Chain A
Amino acid sequence: MIVPMNVVLGLSAVLFAIGAFGFLARRNIILMFISVEIMLTAINISLAGFCLHHGNLRGQVLALFVIAIAAAEAGIGLGLLIAKNRNKSGADVSDLNKLKW
């Protein structure tokens, strides 16, 4: 193997951490979704690494499923955002406080 598995997993974890930080810290809902995409990409990197490590293709097939779920999530999330934008314009999550106790 060209690259050690530890490095691949480390890269995946660092990208996941950046995505998790972005999801928790950003206020713009579109950038929160994008952070989710960064996390899913990080997972795909570790799946491709496992795939090479074990010498079979299950990881790559699972990564394809992850990409399909990411597309579904983007569609639903942005559809919700458009529906919300009819009532109240803007993409700031801190404006959405009707259900806050």
Chain B
Amino acid sequence: MAAEEQGKQKTIAFVLYPGLTVFDLTGPLQVLTALSAIAPEYRTVIVGERVEPTNTDIRVKMIPTHSFEEVPNPSVLLVPGGGVPTLRAMSNEPIRNYVRSAAETAEVAGSVCTGALILGSVGLLEGRQATTHWAYYKILEELGAKYVRKRWVEDGKFICSAGVSAGIDMALALAARLTDEETARRVQRSLGYDPHPPFGGIDYDHLGAISAVRAALSLAAPVIAARPKQLTRQNR
């Protein structure tokens, strides 16, 4: 295929880092890899600090296709989230530097779940509408973003999805943005994505005991955001 020649293809880069919630990355990766089969002008790559086995939350090690240096200017940058490892990544210099510089030149910079906190930690979401996993919204606000409780939120070149599985819906919307709705529908068909949660949707107003997690994270939000904010100020 001619479009596969280097330079002609547009690169969609997913950031992989130790301990991430790999479902965050996998949903959009599966969607956009299916897109690249239909629209070969796109290719998906997975970038990490080093091309080596990287541990994930489900203990299956995953191997990126490229190092950060090898993909300095992707057309699309997507940052997945996670729990504590993501909070740690917010202060990790190689990850921060890559996300900051790659997002600057990308046409679209996006996040899944708490990946938004990494975008926010380098100052990219200041004053912008964004979303994240429901339990972590306070940290996102602490980083200067305007939290919106939606499945995904677009603001300029930024696109952020809610927690984990929301990345699939966001990636389909992104596929339509990169090509057209007809192509995005074909991608959905090829994946067989036709969700029917067996016990209905989520009632966000009645989360019960689990909302204690959100309360605890909200209390800790200023502390969690302090160091990344300080790092960002030093960088300016």
Bind each other: no
Report B's interface with A, CB cutoff 8 A.
none
Report A's interface with B, CB cutoff 8 A.
none
